[in-house]
Amino acid sequence: MMFEAPIQRLIDELARLPGIGRKSAQRLAFHILHVEEEDARRLAESILSMRSEVRLCDRCFNVTDSEECSICRDLRRDPSTMCVVERPQDIVVVEKTQEFRGRYHVLGGSISPIEGIGPDQLRMRELVARIEDEQVSEVIVATNPTVEGDTTALYLARLLKPLGVRVTRLASGLPVGGDLDYADELTLGRALVGRREM
């Protein structure tokens, strides 16, 4: 079913967003139609200003509003360890742990010929340059535990080890604080395979 042109146009745009189907797009559009005009304006302006103000960090390719991101500017961070992630939003997740005090490097994805992404499309050359410039001694590979993420991790290990740097990979295992019987079989299976000596 088609709505009046201005409404339909917004529904179509919203439905192009990831995770938004036709029904959600309709609900969002009608919500926006009924809120105060000021609220709708703020939403539109924040989308535009995000696009014009946000850029990528010159050093690590995190999102930032200046030349270097706040993590790269922070002199208390340890430059000798570097965590390599696929996307900027992965940094936020690692930061929340409060366990990592080094710096980051955002690859921009993972090796996936189906999507036309090879090592040349990822920021591998920049990573190698940084490891030499910044005297990094350990690289923690935090790519996703998928076929593509695992393959990218392996590629990185082979690329970086000859540089004399220690390369580690995030462990995969059980969610903490939950009962064993709540873990899904796949996670538990991986945790069994990757079990540790005590």
Partner 1 sequence: MELGWIELSGYRCYPEIRVEPAPGVNVFVGDNGSGKTSLLEAIGYLSSLRSFRGAPDAALVRTGDEAALVRGEFVAGERSLRVEVEIPVEGRRRVLVNGKRPSSRAEVVSAVPLVAFLPDDLDLVKRGPSQRRDYLDDLAAGLWPSAGAERTDYERALRQRNTLLRKEGRRADRATLDVWDDRLSHLGAMVIRRRLELLERLEPRLSALYAELGERPEVFTTRYEGAPLGPLSLSDVPGLRERLLDALGAARGADLERRVTTVGPHRDEVVAIIGDRDLRTRASQGEQRTVALGLRVAAYEMLREEKGATPVLVLDDVFSELDPGRSRRLVEKLPGGQVFVSTAREEEVPLVGTRWSVAGGRVTVREGE
Residue (61 or 155) nearer to partner 1, CB:
155
* Closest separation in Å from C-beta 182 to partner 1: 12
Contact 112, 149 (CB under 8 A): no
175 in Cβ contact with 183 (< 8 Å): yes
Interface map 129-168 toward partner 1 (x if CB under 8 A): ------------------xx-xx--xx--xx---------
Of 102, 56, 99, 61, the closest CA to residue 82 belongs to 102
What does each C-alpha distance from 119 to 38, 82, 115, 134 come to in angstroms? 46, 19, 12, 22
Helix (H, G, I), strand (E, B) or coil at 48: helix
In the complex with partner 1, the residue whose CB is nearer, 9 or 22, is: 22
Q: Which of residues 38-77 bind partner 1 (CB under 8 A)?
A: none
As a whole number of angstroms, the distance between CA 95 and CA 100 comes to: 7
Q: Considering only the stretches 98-106, 109-117, 125-133, 173-181, report the one whose residues sit in contact with partner 1 under the rule CB under 8 A.
A: 109-117
Q: Which residues lie near partner 1 (CB under 8 A)?
A: 21-22, 111-114, 116, 118-120, 147-148, 150-151, 154-155, 158-159, 184-187, 189
